[in-house]
Amino acid sequence: MTVSYTLKVADSHFGGFSKLLFRWKGSIYKLLYKEFIVFVVLYALLSVVYRRLLTEEQKRLYTKVAQYCNRSTDLIPISFVLGFYVTLIVNRWWAQYTSIPLPDQLMCVISSNVHGKDERGRILRRTLIRYANLSAVLILRSVSTRVLKRFPTMDHVVEAGFMTQDERKKFESLHSDFNKYWVPCVWFTNLAAQARRDGRIRDDVALRLLMDELNAYRAKCSMLFHYDWISIPLVYTQVVTIAVYSFFAFCLIGRQFLEPLEPGQEGDLDMYVPLPTLLQFFFYAGWLKVAEQIINPFGEDDDDFETNKLIDRNLQVSLLSVDDMYQNLPPATKDKYWNESTAQPPYTTATAAETLKPSFLGSTFDMRMCEDAEQSQLAEASPSMPRIQTPLLGRFLAAASPAISIKNFGRGGRATPHLRRAFPSPHPEDPEAVDRIEEEETEDEESRGSGPPTPGGPRSPKASKIRRKEPPMVLVKAPSSESARTEQPGSWEP
C-alpha cells in the first residue's frame, strides 16, 4: 500500500521533515535494518580479532593492509554511479505509473456517443467499457504480483464479472504464443463498428473519436507490457551493486581504529564505534535500497502501486458513467451570478486575508518609465534620424552595419556587379546622386588598375591625388508622391 504523507508537508514549518523520521512503514529503517545489522556485526568481529587475537607482528601487517584498503575507497566512484542509476530508476518508476490505463476519457466518449436508453443501448455501453477494463486486468495480471494473486486463473476473472463464459471460450479458442491482453480491444472495435451500422453511433466522426480513445488506452496497456519485458540492463545493476558492496568491504577493513606502527608514535583517537562510517553505510546502502524497491513498482512493497485498488475504482467509475449517468442530467438553470457582471465567490474567515492581495498583472505592470516627455514621443523612421553605428563586438564578428551605403553595397567584387542593378537608387532623377555613383565607380576602377604599391618605391602620384568622398546613404524611407514633387532632390541628407 502506498505510503502517503502529503498532508504532513502541506505547509513548511520548523521541523517539518523531522516528524517524518519517526515513521516505520515505508521508511528506510524498515528497508535497511537487516543489512545494517550485518555490517555492524562484521565490523565488531574484525575489531575483536584485531584487538584480542593478533600478535604484535600480525597487527603491524594488518595496519598496512587497513591503510591500503582505506586509500582504495577513494578510487570507487560510488556517488556518481549511484546517483545516475537512482535517477534512471526514478524516471522509469514514474513513467510506469503514467502508463497504467485509466478509462476516464474513454468512458466519457462512450457515454456521449453511444446512444439509446433502451436495453440494447445500455448493453452496448456497458459491454464496451467492460472490454476496456478486461484488457487492463489481463495486462496487470501479467506484470503485477498483487493482481495475479487476486486473479490466479481465468475462472477468477469470470467470477469477478470482467468476462462471461462465452467470452472466455472465445478467448481460449484463439491460439497464440504471445500475451492476449489485446483481444478485448479487438472485440471493442468490432462492437463499435456494429453500433455504427445500427445507428447507435450517429456519424463517422464519433466513431473515429471512440477509436482514437481506445487506441490510446490500448497503447498504455502495451507500454506496461514492454516495461515489464525490457528491464534496465542487468550489467548496470550489477555494476552498481558491486560498487556498493566492494566499497563497504574495504571499509570493514580500512576503517578500523588502529594502533600506531611505532611505539612512541601518536595514533588516532580510538572511538570503538565508527560513527562516520555507519552514517556512510546508511546513506549509500539506503540509496541502493531505494532503487531496489522502486525498480519494479508492481510488487508488494510498501510503496508499490496499489493496482487492485485501481482495478476496483476503474470498474466502478466507468460503469456509473456509461449506465447510471447516461442522459441523467440535473436541470439547467440560471447560475447565482446570472445578473452580475463580475463573479466573486465568497471567502471564509480563515481565507479572507487573501482578498487583500492584489492580482498579478504582469512583471512589468509596476515598472516606472522615464519621466522625460521627449522619450515618450512617437517617432517615425526618416533619413534625418541619426545613423545607427555597428557595435564594436559586431564589427569583430563581421556583422553588417545597418547603414549600408551604395558604394559599400557595390564593392562585393567582380562576381556581384548585378547587385547594383538589382538595387537601383530610389531617386534616379537626382543628378547629383548619379554623378556621385559614377565618380565612385571610376575611383574603384582606378584603384584596382593601379595595383599594390611597390615595396620601398614611390607611390603613384595619380593614386595619391584621389580623394575619398563620403559614400551616400541608402534612404530608409521613400518619400511620398506629393513630397517628391514639392521637395528638391538636394534637400535629402545622407
Could you report the per-residue pLDDT of 226-247, keeping only the tens digit for each? Answer: 999 999 999 999 999 999 999 9
Mean pLDDT of 413-441: 51
Say if residue 32's pLDDT is above 60. yes
Phi/psi of residue 157, nearest 5 degrees: -65, -40
Mean pLDDT of 201-227: 97
Residue 473 is predicted with a pLDDT of 52
Mean pLDDT of 194-223: 97
Residue 385 is predicted with a pLDDT of 62
Q: Give the model's confidence band at 433: pLDDT under 50 very low, under 70 low, under 90 confident, else very high.
A: low
Say if residue 486's pLDDT is above 90. no
> Percentage of residues in the chain with pLDDT exceeding 70?
76
Residue 259 is predicted with a pLDDT of 82
Say if residue 458's pLDDT is above 70. no
Say if residue 47's pLDDT is above 70. yes
Say if residue 447's pLDDT is above 90. no
Residue with cell 471564509: 348
Averaged pLDDT of the chain: 83
Nearest to residue 444, comparing CAs of 405, 418, 414, 415?
A: 414
* 11-19, Cβ contacts within 8 angstroms, sequence gap of 24 or more: none
Residue 466 is predicted with a pLDDT of 46
Residue 370 is predicted with a pLDDT of 74
Cβ-contact 228, 220 below 8 angstroms: no
Mean pLDDT of 70-77: 91
167-181 per-position pLDDT tens digit: 999 999 999 999 999
Q: Give the model's confidence band at 445: pLDDT under 50 very low, under 70 low, under 90 confident, else very high.
A: low
Most confident of the ranges 20-24, 308-312, 349-353, 415-419: 308-312
Residue 474 is predicted with a pLDDT of 46
Mean pLDDT of 7-15: 86
Mean pLDDT of 323-352: 92
